């Protein structure tokens, strides 16, 4: 399986974004206040949404090959 330059660039960008999201989640969990679980749930739901968007982009790239 080979990728063109744009696809490689997109995959690298996706990996960078996922890495940044993971760092953000880790930092937020460290800062999370145990008295405010609803805020933490909202943060986790937003992370899931963003990761699913990235997964969709990756699937599109791989599907075209």
CA pair distance 43, 63, nearest whole angstrom = 30
CA pair distance 19, 27, nearest whole angstrom = 12
Residue 38's alpha-carbon distances to 26, 33, 51, in angstroms, are 17, 10, 20
Task: Write a three-state SS string for 15-35.
Answer: HHHHHHHHHHHHHHHHHCCCC
Q: Which residue has the higher pLDDT, 39 or 35?
A: 39
Does the pTM exceed 0.85?
no
Sorted by where each begins, the domain ranges of the chain are 5-63
Give pLDDT tens digits for 18-38: 888 888 877 777 676 556 777
């Amino acid at each position: 399986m080979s990728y063109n330059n744009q696809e490689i660039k997109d995959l690298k960008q996706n990996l960078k974004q996922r890495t940044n999201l993971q760092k953000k989640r880790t930092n937020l969990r460290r800062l999370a206040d145990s008295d405010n679980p609803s805020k933490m749930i909202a943060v986790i739901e937003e992370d899931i949404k963003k990761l699913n968007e990235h997964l969709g982009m990756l699937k599109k790239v791989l599907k075209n090959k």
